[in-house]
Amino acid sequence: MWLYSRDLDNPSHHRVIALVEDKIDKKEKTMRNLFMTLGLLLSLGVSAVHAEVTITSKSYQKVIKKKKAKWVKATKVVPGNVVLYINTVANKGSENAKNLTVVNAVPEHMSYIKNSAKCKGKCDITFSIDGGKHFAKPSKLIVKDKKTKKRRRARASEYTTIKWVIPSLKGGKKTTVQYKARLQ
């Protein structure tokens, strides 16, 4: 059994007061370790942030009906079709969430479409050409050309992964990040 109290000067801080050990099973040992870690973090002045962030992803494809283009849920994509990927990031908590990172791999057999990565609001967008190991702005992504053996800037179609960093998202708010890719 764990006994803890709230710091009356700061209700978001808890202090572990005592551990009463009777017969401790595996689950209780895990809980003890968790509370000891929590107690240590709180004693170091780290407070819990009440941000509950969720991400939902959807994909759409462009269809043309009666000479009008419309984005519809992507169900059956054929080579040459463009798919729009949208991630909705929602902070369902009460506090600001900071430095939220969204990473999307460009699906196999898809080619990223240049300048299509966007975000609603402020964010930093970087790309990877090595499956997400390293990220940089497009001007810093350098590859060795297979034919000429010379170094050159990577083409957008060679990007394998996209990363968005959202500096802050207020509690109760949501934002989106998106990109387009073409099925090869």
Give yes or no: residues 69 and 147 share one domain.
yes
9-21 tens-digit pLDDT = 434 433 333 333 3
Cα separation values, 48 from 45, 59, 92, 98, 105, Å? 10, 34, 15, 13, 31
Give yes or no: residues 149 and 87 share one domain.
yes
Give yes or no: residues 38 and 65 share one domain.
no
Retrieve residue 140's tokens: 């810093």
End-to-end CA distance of the chain: 59
| Alpha-carbon span 57 to 178, nearest angstrom | 9
- Tell me the Cα Rg of the chain: 23
74-123 tens-digit pLDDT = 988 899 999 999 999 999 998 999 999 999 999 999 999 999 999 999 99
Retrieve residue 100's tokens: 């939220």
73 occurs within a structural domain = yes
173 occurs within a structural domain = yes
Say what the pLDDT of residue 111 is.
97
22 occurs within a structural domain = yes
Give yes or no: residues 128 and 60 share one domain.
yes
Give yes or no: residues 89 and 155 share one domain.
yes
- Mean pLDDT value of segment 47-63: 81
DSSP one-letter code for 136 = B
CATH number assigned to the domain comprising residue 86: 2.60.40.2260
Give yes or no: residues 96 and 175 share one domain.
yes
Give yes or no: residues 90 and 32 share one domain.
no
- Residue among 30, 2, 7 nearest 17 (CA): 2
List alpha helices for the chain, DSSP H.
26-43
Say what the pLDDT of residue 64 is.
83
